[in-house]
Structure 1
Amino acid sequence: MFTNLNRMLHFAFNDFSRNKGISIASVFILTVITMLATSLLFFGGVSDYLILQIQDKIDVTAYFTEETEEKDILIVRDEIVKLEVVKDVFYVSKESALENFKNKYKGNEVFEKALLEVGGNPFLPSLNIKTNGDPLEYQEVANILAQEKFVDLIEKVDFSEKKDIINTVFSIRSAVIRTGLILGLILVFIAILVVFNTIKLTVDSFKDEISTMRIVGATNWFIRGPFIIQGLIYGLISFIICFVISILSFHLLSNKISLILPGFNSFDYFVSNIWMFVALQIVFGVGVSIISSFIAVRRHLKV
């Protein structure tokens, strides 16, 4: 068993070194494809981060009438917060709303003048309600607030005004996921073609030797072995190169990316999801190479 394994390894490494041009070209193309797949995974993480940032800023606000007492608003809050779809509920009094407005537009003469002209406190007490971000969850909250028992208390609910924004965010997220899957499948297909054709060229050059092996009784696995190992070598080298490039790239670019995306650190994201990146690179680098090699050599076993 070990003798056969040593022979297969010997044949595989000999052919790899003998066809340096083809081997280097195959490793290079595999590396580029694997890096593109890695970039897709990273940009998927960036898009998730951006969408989460937007979702955190989206809420449904229920504005109460001026006559509604604070105790009644808190009763509504306690009822809403019990809903499974609700993540947080914040009560904002008239006074707090006015203070927040003044702080936000401090120094803005237009808004300050408008507030003086209105006179008094034009703001209504409200509840800011956050869910996990699903449009259906916001719709459920809006439906509950529209119940008859709340009609006399609530002036308006701004869900209809934010509905389009919420739906757009989720449409973008779905589009990003679909695009990533499609591009990922395209990259897998290209990687399979590259390794398949490389191994096929090698197999074709050894066609007579394969026929001879079959005549003398060599097993299918003994014939397949060197070519599959050769594909494995391509994959391992491309995986190692990609992994090193990923570490260096995410580390060196982390500060620049943080300037564009405050709060997002590319290197921290890579480290926290390192096994996902490793799995992806192994699938593209090693898995695809082995499968392609197996397919390429299979038809010659019938010779």
Structure 2
Amino acid sequence: MKLSFLMRVMKFGVQDFFRNFWLSAATVSVLTLTVISINALVLMNVLGKIAVTTVESKIDASVHFRQDVDESRVKTVRVALLGLPEVKEVEYVSPEESLQQFKIDNGEESELVKSLEEIEGNPFGATLIVRAHDTSGYSTIMQTLNQPLFASLIEEKDFSDYEAMVSRLNAITGKLEIFLLAVTCAFGVIALLIVMNAVRVSVYTHREEISIMRLVGASNWFIRGPFYVEALIWTLVSVGLTVLLLYPALIIIQPFLQRFFGSNSVDLVSFYTVNLLSLVGLQVIGVAFMTLVTTKLATARYLRV
């Protein structure tokens, strides 16, 4: 008996969905935009973290030693730097490697390279490229290198201060997330109003059928049930459409993101694939809660049973 009751309620709910097709389409469209906005918010958060990690991985400090400083003294400084807990790695670049890299960067036929050929010997000294575990560690590294013991050996310190860039990137990401959150809330409010209106129209459309159900003694749940079933259909269709639209979009933009950041670590497709079940599950629960609560409020207001 209960199974038969449930099947009939589900049948009427499906019929209502297709009977008011254009109203259902409008409701599903706004719900889909809301879910897409939520996904965009999640993906933007992930992309922001990847971007910061990518920028931080490119941060280093180049320490150029005087030409007359021999290799053993440079390597002594290297050992001292490796002893700092803030230091991740220290790469030694010989004067010959520095000269070769200079020629590669500027081109063999450039005026700078030709002018170097007129100078006898190698004008470059040894270089240490220092990388820290975290951007905050570079201040300690610089303080160590400024000590008289090391400062007298160093000709120049070239520190690309990416910390300001990371701060700006975090600020931009934060503002974009706030914007997406505002858009999501706006779509959410619109979705609530449309669901409320859709239920009102559906109640009006079925007013004669509802009157007959009352006359034959149908229970309140039998009358209200199809509206809840319809709300669940809106939920499932909107989340399903979001996946169908978002997945191909991520595949298309993936190569552009990797080229932009210059790293294959930017892989939103893999993130979305790995977390697909949890993302879809949470979205179904969230949207279903929203539509069912709104349907409950709408039926309480417009459906007198």
Q: Which runs of 5+ in 1 are unaligned?
A: none
Q: Is the 8 A contact 1:199 1:227 kept in 2?
A: no
| Mapping 1:39-50, distance limit 5 Å | 39=40, 41-42=42-43
Match runs of 1:142-291 below 5 Å: 142-159=142-159, 162-163=160-161, 166-205=162-201, 206=203, 218=220, 226-251=226-251, 264=264, 269-276=268-275, 279-280=278-279, 283-284=282-283, 287-291=286-290
Relative distance call for 1:203 and 1:104 in structure 2 (3 A) is: closer
Q: Is the 8 A contact 1:191 1:288 kept in 2?
A: no
- CA deviations 1:68-93 (Å, max 9, x no partner) are 33223223222322444333210112
**Normalization by structure 1: what TM-score?**
0.76
> What's the secondary structure of 2:125's corresponding residue?
coil
Higher radius of gyration, 1 or 2: 2
Task: Give the TM-score taking structure 2 as reference length.
Answer: 0.75
Q: 1:257 to 1:54 in 2, by over 3 A?
A: closer
Task: Find the counterpart in structure 2 of residue 293 from structure 1.
Answer: 292
Return closer, same or farther for 1:196/1:100 CA change in 2, 3 Å cut-off. same
Q: Any idea what SS the aligned residue of 2:89 has? A: strand
Q: CA deviation at 1:24?
A: 0.7
Q: Distance in 1 between matches of 2:96 and 2:165?
A: 32
Any stretches of 5+ residues in structure 2 without a counterpart? none
Amino acid in the other structure paired with 1:34: V
C-alpha deviation, 1:126, in angstroms: 1.7
RMSD of equivalent CA atoms: 3.8
**AA at the equivalent of 1:85:** E
Aligned to 2:137: 137
Residues in 1 aligned to 2:89 and 2:4: alpha-carbon distance in whole angstroms: 66
Name the % identity: 23
Residue 252 and residue 155 in structure 1: after superposition, are their counterparts in 2 closer, same or farther (change >3 A)? closer
Secondary structure, in 3 states, of the residue corresponding to 2:128? strand
* Preserved contact between residue 239 and residue 282 of structure 1 (Cα < 8 Å): no
CA contact (8 A) 1:62 1:154 kept: yes
Aligned-partner Cα distance in 1 for 2:272–2:126: 43
Partners of 1:261 and 1:170 in 2: CA distance = 13
Shifted more, 292-301 versus 13-22: the winner is 292-301
